[in-house]
């Protein structure tokens, strides 16, 4: 099914999007179509709507989407755009074409043309998209020029946060200046709210201030200004009861790096104990342990935490065990060879359905690489990273480029859309509703485990997948 860009895509820092008409509230005419039981009456209603105006055709498009009739939905969307070139569906289509373009200059040119054609549209998402394309190209000047034009306060704050976060990877000073300016503005609005924004339900001065406190502290951490970072991260930590893992991590690291080992130790230990520790956290936890336990080395203590995690994960994984026949799927490798379930008879296989536009998919890849490395010498365990639900004309090229640029050594397979059904057959056969979706299949072709999503914690993820693989191998 084709989709319109939503705020969730912005939050995952992606601008790739497929086509669909503007989302609408359900209405009686749509309900009438969906609930019609008489085939003849249904066809009459469809025919009548098909001859109507843009609003009528929009109802029909919603009906096809509700019925997951991707073929008719795609064809109708294209027909609406052609029939009403200045309508709202055409406006959506124009935006989507900008979002899938990678070049900053091309996006900029397309935006200028779009603005002439649809002068009454809200351009904030496009402005963010252009800024994002430029920051990917490390063009700081242009990225700042376009993110600065975003008007909506709430959308601007999110846009600046994402752009600045990416900018830290190559121009930390520019990112610092950008965030400091936004932080100062957010502080003023938080301390003295603007009466003009009182009716804006999206306005969140406290949340905006907290967001930029945290981000500015992270930037100072990257510059190794741990004293300065402590001031901002500390205020962010103290100002909220809802402390996410990243905030706890950063606060724990900064406590340790500022010599406050007693305060740092329980924060870092909790995350590492849960399998959510990274190398920096483990290093500071070891240091805190040794500072608080004179004469003792941390290696035995750290090994104990890892053993505890392993046993805990095993118990949880045992509850997830299933025994279902795997569908006889087939996918294509990067050389064009078609492989199927039968080709892996006798082997334990791990299927990872993913896409280049999927933030959680990519977030899980460091853990998946660790798992691949762990089983690299085991010829009876095979990993298939299956790219699906593509949103571009060159999905294999983009998938290969992403894996190469990020140094992931995965066996890539493609589950491309069937031209006739408009479905990605392999992922559809497994009934996947969201990605990343992972399936562990035993040597007899039975699904033993299935997992959707990624909540973070590389150590926990590796231990979880390892336990699944070992249980599948034993066919318990």
- Domains of the chain plus CATH, in order, are 7-165 (no CATH), 205-316 (1.25.40.10), 324-474 (3.40.30.10)
How far is Cα 145 from Cα 244, in angstroms, rounded to an integer? 32
CA nearest neighbour of 258 among 218, 216, 225: 225
| The pLDDT value given to residue 16 | 36
- Over the stretch 271-320, which tens digit does the pLDDT of each residue have? 999 999 999 999 999 999 999 999 999 999 999 999 999 999 999 999 99
| The pLDDT value given to residue 140 | 97
In sequence order, the β-bridge partners of residue 440 are 350, 449
With cut-offs at 50, 70 and 90, classify the pLDDT of residue 380: very high
- Over the stretch 292-304, which tens digit does the pLDDT of each residue have? 999 999 999 999 9
| The pLDDT value given to residue 49 | 92
Tokens of 116: 């002439």
If one compares 36 and 163, the residue with the highest pLDDT of the two is 163
pLDDT at 420 over 90: no
Mean pLDDT, rounded, for 188-202: 66
The torsion angles phi and psi of 335, rounded to 5 degrees, stand at -95, 5
| The pLDDT value given to residue 332 | 97
Mean pLDDT, rounded, for 239-264: 94
If one compares 256 and 193, the residue with the highest pLDDT of the two is 256
pLDDT at 334 over 70: yes
Q: Enter the pTM of the model.
A: 0.78
| The pLDDT value given to residue 67 | 80
Per the CB < 8 A criterion, the answer to whether 386 and 354 are in contact is yes
DSSP state, residue 23? P
**Lowest model confidence (mean pLDDT) among 21-30, 173-182, 267-276, 331-340:** 21-30
pLDDT at 70 over 80: no
Mean pLDDT, rounded, for 449-476: 92
pLDDT at 133 over 80: yes
CA nearest neighbour of 34 among 68, 2, 75: 68
pLDDT at 474 over 90: no
Mean pLDDT, rounded, for 460-464: 96
pLDDT at 203 over 50: yes
| The pLDDT value given to residue 476 | 59
Whole-number Cα distances in Å, 132 to 107, 112, 385, 398:
10, 16, 27, 17
Long-range contacts of 40-43 (CB under 8 A, 24+ apart): none
Per the CB < 8 A criterion, the answer to whether 392 and 398 are in contact is yes
Q: Determine how β-strand 381-387 pairs with β-strand 412-414.
A: parallel
With cut-offs at 50, 70 and 90, classify the pLDDT of residue 197: low
**Lowest model confidence (mean pLDDT) among 71-75, 242-246, 262-266, 461-465:** 71-75
How far is Cα 138 from Cα 151, in angstroms, rounded to an integer? 23
Q: What's the mean per-residue pLDDT of the chain?
A: 90
CB atoms within 10 A of CB 449: 21
- With 0-12 CB in 10 A as exposed, 13-18 as middle and 19+ as buried, what is 394? exposed
How far is Cα 244 from Cα 267, in angstroms, rounded to an integer? 12
| The pLDDT value given to residue 455 | 85
How far is Cα 476 from Cα 54, in angstroms, rounded to an integer? 57
pLDDT at 10 over 60: no
């Amino acid at each position: 099914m084709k989709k319109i860009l939503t705020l969730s895509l912005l939050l995952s820092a992606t601008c790739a999007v497929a086509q669909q008409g503007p989302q609408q509230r359900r209405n009686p005419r749509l309900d009438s179509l969906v609930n019609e039981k008489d085939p003849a009456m249904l066809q009459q209603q469809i025919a009548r709507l098909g001859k109507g105006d843009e609003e009528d055709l929009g109802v029909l498009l919603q009906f096809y989407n509700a019925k997951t009739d991707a073929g008719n939905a795609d064809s109708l969307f294209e027909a609406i755009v052609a029939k009403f070139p200045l309508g709202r569906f055409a406006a959506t289509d124009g935006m989507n074409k900008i979002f899938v373009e990678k070049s900053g200059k091309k996006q900029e040119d397309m935006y200028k043309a779009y603005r002439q054609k649809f002068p009454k549209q809200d351009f904030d998402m496009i402005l963010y998209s252009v800024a994002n394309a430029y920051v990917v190209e490390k063009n700081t000047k242009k990225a700042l020029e376009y993110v600065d034009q975003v008007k909506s306060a709430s959308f601007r704050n999110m846009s600046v946060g994402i752009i600045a976060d990416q900018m830290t990877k190559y121009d930390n000073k520019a990112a610092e200046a950008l965030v400091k300016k936004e932080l100062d503005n957010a502080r003023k609005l938080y301390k003295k709210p603007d009466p003009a924004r009182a009716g804006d339900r999206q306005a969140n001065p406290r949340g905006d201030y907290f967001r930029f406190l945290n981000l500015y502290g992270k930037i100072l951490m990257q510059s190794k200004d741990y004293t300065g970072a402590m001031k901002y991260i500390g205020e962010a930590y103290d100002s909220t009861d809802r402390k996410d893992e990243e905030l706890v991590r950063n606060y724990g690291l900064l406590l340790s790096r500022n010599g406050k080992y007693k305060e740092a130790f329980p924060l870092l230990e909790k995350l590492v104990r849960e399998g959510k520790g990274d190398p920096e956290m483990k290093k500071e936890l070891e240091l805190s342990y040794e500072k608080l336990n004179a004469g003792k080395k941390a290696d035995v203590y750290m090994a104990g935490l890892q053993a505890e995690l392993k046993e805990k994960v095993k118990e949880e994984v045992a509850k997830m065990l299933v025994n279902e026949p795997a569908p006889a799927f087939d996918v294509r490798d990067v050389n064009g060879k078609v492989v199927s379930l039968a080709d892996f008879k006798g082997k334990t296989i791990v299927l990872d359905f993913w896409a280049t536009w999927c933030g959680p998919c990519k977030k899980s890849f460091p853990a998946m690489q660790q798992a691949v490395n762990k089983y690299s010498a085991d010829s009876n365990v095979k990993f298939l990273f299956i790219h699906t639900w593509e949103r571009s004309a060159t999905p294999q090229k983009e998938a290969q480029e992403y894996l190469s640029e990020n140094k992931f050594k995965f066996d890539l397979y493609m589950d491309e859309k069937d031209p006739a059904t408009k479905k990605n057959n392999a992922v559809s056969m497994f009934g996947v509703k969201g990605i990343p979706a992972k399936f562990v299949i035993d040597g007899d072709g039975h699904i033993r485990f299935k997992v959707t999503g990624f909540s973070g914690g590389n150590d926990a993820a590796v231990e979880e997948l390892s336990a699944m693989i070992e249980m599948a191998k034993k066919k318990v």
